[in-house]
Amino acid sequence: MTTRLRAVVHGRVQGVGFRDATARVAERAGVAGQVANLPDGTVEVELEGDEGAVGSVVEYLHHGPPAAAVSSVRVTDLEPRGDTVFRIR
């Protein structure tokens, strides 16, 4: 079943390779979507794909790359759009 969600990751998540690492994890899992730094210091991630694969990427977001310090991840469901690639914005 295809699912899509938006996750906003809080903590020390900018300037630590979070976007690049998330893109690699998502691509390996076969998940489409995008990742972007937001002006408030958080990272926004949209993920679309198989429910299990999306769930595995969300698990990764809770810790991120070694230099990150994630304090929380807020997840909301979205309607699937049919994305087929993962982009870094």
List the catalytic residue out of 19, 24, 81, 87. 19
Quick check: 83 and 32 in contact, CB under 8 A?
yes
> Around 18, how many Cα atoms within 13 Å sit in the side-chain half-sphere?
30
Does 81 participate in catalysis according to the annotation?
no
Does 4 participate in catalysis according to the annotation?
no
List the catalytic residue out of 6, 12, 24, 37. 37
Residues 61-82, buried b or exposed e (16+ Cβ, 10 A)?
beebbeebebeebeeeeeeeee
Task: Report, as residue numbers or ranges, the catalytic residues.
Answer: 19, 37
